[in-house]
Amino acid sequence: MSRQLDNWLAHYMKYTQRTEPPELYHLWSGLTAISSALRRKCYCNWGALRGYVYPNLFVSLVGPPGGRKGTAMKIAKSFVQKLDVNIGADSLGSTQALYKELMDSEDTYVDHAGFTRKHKSVSIWSEEFQVFLNDRDQMLLASLTDLFDCADTWKYKTLARKTEDISNCWLTLFGCITPSLLQSKLSQDAVGGGLISRIIFVVGQGPKQRRALQFLTEEEEDTQKRLENDLQEIANLSGQFTLSKDFLKTYVRWYEQDYDESGVPSERFLGYNHRRPLHLNKVCMLVCAAESDDMIITAEHFEQALAIMQATELEMPNAFYGLGLSSQANIYAKILSFIDSHESFEWTELVRNFHLDVDNIPQLRGYVEMAEQSGILKAENSATTCMYTTIRKKQKIRDPTYLDRTIFRLIDRNVIKNQMEKN
């Protein structure tokens, strides 16, 4: 069968637009579904220095309990489960279990030249992402870090001193975690490099809307069937993505003139910022595969991928609120999260929310003063109360008009409504 939709990701966003999870959760769930479908059968040659890049992702949805992280994951996972792909167990929390899952996943495909190729591809969709982020198991962290690069040759010795071969391996890792669990599982030393720099943290502040009844309409049921069909078509792809001339021109200009390794303005993301081009390369392949079977990456795909990355990076620093050395860091993290979710608030509202978390009122005032000195808050005193206004720093976006031409145009619910009325 041929494709029935002009863009899998765009229609997936339409399909999920009446649900409660934040749009970014749905967007990255959709991207991970495409990644899981492509596996190691697809790649892109980025030259002698970088070599082959594969469309695998390490993604973590970060948000408060009840923030609908698991809901977003389950919707996308239901599509992937209908494919003939290897979905690893949620609790692969040991190195040996992970290696065994890869060993058991060996499969073959025929490339564009007619040669039969082997690959070991596994996608792990886990609502318990903290299982993989415990830096007390250094061997697991190191293994996940190595697996991200999809090594052509990789052998290891088991406890029984046997040599196992997991060459041509591929791993996509998708999970959910709360900020407090993220803080408790990682030490300060673990942040800034290694595994963390390979993970895209997608931050949400809770449900975007409330929907008591979420039964599918006839139109959505039809879209669901088309999405299932087209994801299978995507899973049938194999071979090399090619880079068009307009893509190369646009990418070179961005990399040599605009890219300054400051995508996320936080020292905790220095390692991630260094790898931004690699993450961008992967997303380019995914948005290309979402659109057609030709596997030609264009300048438009680059702009879509860049807009997706920039919109995601605006919230990424919030994933690590509270990750520090202070014993009171968790309290300050909760206060920062409260500040970020409000445009303005009164002092009395802050006291109501945090009087059980602090020892006394002066301690709470100290946290607020720290936020003021950091440029996060602005205070305005009156005769009866103190009003605080949240200060939000604008991130440089290369060309904001591209946001209107990408997937993000389709997640505006008013635009979707107008499009549906026209159709």
Same domain? 385 vs 402: no
Report the CATH number at residue 370: 1.10.10
| pLDDT for position 393 | 58
Q: Are 151 and 67 contained in the same domain?
A: yes
- Domain-embedded: residue 319: no
Same domain, 203 and 293: yes
Name which of 393, 392, 390 is nearest 349 in CA terms. Answer: 390
Structural Rg of the chain based on CA atoms:
22
Same domain for 219 and 351? no
Buried b / exposed e across 348-378, counting CB within 10 Å, b at 16+?
eebeeebeeebeeeeebeebbeebeeeebbe
1 assigned to some structural domain:
no
> Nearest CA to 307 among 67, 17, 23, 6?
23
Residue 408 lies in a domain: yes
What is each CA distance from 358 to 59, 325, 417, in whole angstroms?
Answer: 33, 18, 46
So what's the pLDDT on residue 226?
97
Q: What is the CATH number of the domain that holds 21?
A: 3.40.50
Is 108 part of any domain?
A: yes
Quick check: is 3 in a domain? no
User: Could you tell me the two tokens for 76?
Assistant: 């996308």
Same domain, 274 and 377: no
**SS (HEC) of 5-57:** CCCHHHHHHHHCCCCCCCHHHHHHHHHHHHHHHHHHHEEEECHHHHCEECCCC
Tell whether 246 and 276 lie within a shared domain.
yes
CA 400 to CA 162: how far, in whole Å?
55
Number of domains composing the chain: 2
192 and 328 in a common domain: no
- Give the amino acid at 375: G
204 and 63 share a domain? yes
C-beta separation of 76 from 32 below 8 A? yes
User: Measured between alpha carbons, how far is 83 from 104 in angstroms, rounded to an integer?
Assistant: 17
Query: pLDDT by residue for the chain (423 residues), tens digit each?
Result: 699 999 999 999 999 988 889 999 999 999 999 999 999 999 999 887 788 999 999 999 998 888 889 999 999 999 999 999 999 876 666 788 888 889 889 998 887 777 888 999 999 998 888 777 765 667 788 888 889 999 888 777 766 657 778 899 999 999 998 877 777 666 555 554 588 889 999 998 777 777 666 778 899 899 999 999 999 999 999 999 999 999 999 999 999 887 876 678 777 788 888 899 999 999 999 999 999 999 999 999 999 999 899 889 988 887 876 544 444 556 776 787 788 778 889 998 989 888 888 888 888 888 888 888 777 888 888 777 788 998 865 544 444 444 444 454 444 443 334 444 444
Residues 262 and 357 in one domain: no
| 185 is a domain residue | yes
Question: Rounded to an integer, what distance in angstroms lies between the CA atom of residue 156 and that of residue 158?
Answer: 7
Domain holding 128, by residue range, is 8-314+396-422
- Distance, in Å, from the CA atom of 37 to the CA atom of 39, rounded to the nearest integer, reads 6
What sign results for the dihedral spanned by CA atoms 397, 401, 403, 407? negative
Q: What was the pLDDT predicted at 81?
A: 96
State the pLDDT at residue 189. 53
Is 119 among the domain residues?
yes
CA pair distance 195, 133, nearest whole angstrom: 9
Residue 418 has a pLDDT of 44
pLDDT the model gives residue 213: 65
